[in-house]
């Protein structure tokens, strides 16, 4: 990604842009989290195109699985099927010298430093085979142990059924194929160094590793929590990119990050526990919607009588920004127009995904003063949202500074598509660096730690599935402000 533009290098600069604009802070009783219905507008940078339905979400593809590599040892599940013109991966069983196998034993014996367990990698059978000298058995055992290390260091040790509401497609299986990593290690003779290249590059992984080293064995609970959160970093891409948004749900904070340095932070409001809990995602911000409309879900239009009330009382509907339409078949639709009382506030980030989750503003900004902010129906409400929107529009080269300010204050629905899209990560860490850079623990608001911690007490799941099969819960409405 390109470097952060010097002319707009901090949130302070954005705040200055907004100093001259009067942005209404009125509060309403309803607040929505979805763009599930139709939105007015389109992809022009500063124009207002005709109404059209919101694009259908792109389905999440399922990873492919491999085939058997020989009769004795099944192919690793993490090894992708190679199709088309892609180069075939190196084989998963390759010859080992005594020197390389000895180095592998040393890596396994010290793997506890990475929060993993030496017992998971057939250490004792490997030592026995090593003591007998070069053999087909040594080649098979060493290759298998190495492949399991690659899988856990690259993809995470935690099985899929313990990753609650986790929907991140990790690209690392394609970038660091198991057989290729094995070939590289054996060719170079640097077994430890090759495996170390799989470690997440985000500074928090190294900080957690340091914390684990400093925590005595007697403090088993803390050590296990550190290990669980180290593994969560492996569930994500090894390298998150140069510029990205990342929010840690239990911390109630969003960061705009450049080269792993925090540029701006924003307090957030996230989903309430239960079916409205915010899922873990890795998506792309494609655009910024200024002054959004809100197509009211039928659960409110029909279920709560909003449609009938709006049709019966046009003056009330107009005061609240609602436009109600009744079709020939009796179907009633209600769209809330842009304005300070709109349930999405003054902006939302266009981030298409099957869950209808995105970052947006709120007219109930007083809620950011709460310490516990798990109040929404899944989406992430963002403090100083208009500042964030203008920043994203400028960094993404969708609009100039002057255009972004003019659009934001126009009170007209405008979608600014970004020339340069931004990765956005919605994560769940219960131990991580806080916004001050200090290692901290956060309340497990969704009780997602329990299955991860329990998996650490069980033997490593071999030949585990990489298919994400958790339930996709599409957000419908967001009514309770607390």
Catalytic positions: 360, 379
C-alpha to C-alpha distance for 245 and 301, rounded to whole angstroms: 34
In 3D space, the residue among 422, 433, 440, 451 whose CA is nearest the CA of residue 1 turns out to be 422
Backbone angles phi, psi at 271, to 5 degrees: -65, 145
Q: How many CA atoms lie within 13 A of 233 on its CB side?
A: 25
- Specify the DSSP element, H or E, that contains 151: helix 136-155
In 3D space, the residue among 387, 385, 431, 442 whose CA is nearest the CA of residue 252 turns out to be 442
How many CB atoms are located within 10 Å of the residue 347 CB? 27
C-alpha to C-alpha distance for 175 and 285, rounded to whole angstroms: 23
- Specify the DSSP element, H or E, that contains 349: strand 347-350
C-alpha to C-alpha distance for 431 and 365, rounded to whole angstroms: 27
Question: What does the CA dihedral 390, 391, 394, 397 come to, rounded to 10 degrees?
Answer: -110
C-alpha to C-alpha distance for 440 and 253, rounded to whole angstroms: 13
């Amino acid at each position: 990604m390109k470097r952060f533009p010097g002319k707009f290098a901090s949130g302070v600069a954005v705040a200055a842009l907004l100093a001259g604009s009067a942005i209404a802070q009125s509060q309403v009783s309803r607040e929505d989290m979805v763009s599930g219905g139709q939105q007015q507008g389109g992809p022009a940078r500063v124009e207002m195109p005709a109404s059209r339905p919101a694009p259908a979400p792109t389905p999440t593809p399922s990873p492919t699985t491999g085939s058997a590599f020989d009769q004795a040892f099944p192919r690793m599940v993490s090894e992708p099927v190679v199709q088309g013109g892609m180069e075939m991966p190196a084989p998963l069983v390759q010859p080992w010298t005594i020197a390389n196998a000895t180095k592998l034993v040393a890596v396994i014996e010290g793997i506890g430093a990475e929060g993993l367990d030496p017992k998971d990698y057939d250490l004792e059978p490997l030592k026995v085979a090593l003591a007998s000298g070069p053999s087909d058995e040594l080649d098979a055992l060493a290759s298998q142990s190495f492949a399991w290390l690659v899988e856990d260091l690259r993809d995470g040790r935690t099985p899929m059924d313990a990753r609650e509401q986790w929907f991140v497609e990790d690209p690392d299986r394609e970038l660091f194929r198991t057989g290729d990593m094995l070939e590289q290690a054996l060719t170079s003779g640097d077994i430890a160094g090759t495996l170390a290249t799989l470690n997440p590059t985000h500074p928090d992984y190294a900080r957690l590793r340091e914390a684990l080293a400093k925590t005595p064995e007697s403090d088993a609970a803390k050590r296990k929590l550190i290990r669980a959160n180290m593994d969560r970093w492996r569930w994500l891409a090894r390298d998150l990119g140069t510029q990205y948004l990342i929010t840690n749900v239990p911390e109630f904070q969003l960061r705009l990050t450049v080269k792993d340095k925090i540029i701006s932070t924003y307090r957030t409001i996230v989903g309430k526990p239960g079916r409205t809990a915010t899922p873990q995602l890795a998506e792309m911000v494609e655009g910024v919607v200024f002054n959004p409309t809100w197509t009211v879900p039928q659960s409110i239009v029909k279920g709560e009588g909003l449609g009938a009330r709006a049709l019966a009382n046009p003056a009330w509907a107009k005061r609240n920004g609602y436009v109600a339409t009744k079709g020939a078949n009796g179907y009633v639709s209600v769209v809330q127009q842009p304005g300070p009382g709109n349930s999405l506030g003054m902006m939302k980030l266009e981030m298409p995904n099957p869950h209808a989750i995105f970052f947006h503003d709120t007219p109930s900004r007083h809620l950011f003063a709460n310490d516990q902010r798990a109040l929404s129906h899944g989406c992430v409400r963002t403090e100083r949202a208009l500042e964030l929107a203008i920043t994203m529009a400028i960094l993404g080269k969708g609009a100039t500074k002057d255009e972004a300010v003019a659009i934001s204050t126009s009170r007209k629905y405008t979608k600014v598509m970004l020339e340069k899209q931004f990765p956005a990560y919605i994560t769940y860490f219960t131990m991580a660096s806080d916004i001050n850079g200090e290692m901290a623990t956060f309340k497990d608001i969704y009780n997602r730690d329990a299955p991860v911690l329990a998996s650490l007490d069980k033997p490593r799941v071999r030949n585990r599935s990489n298919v994400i099969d958790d339930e996709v819960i599409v957000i419908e409405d967001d009514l309770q402000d607390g």
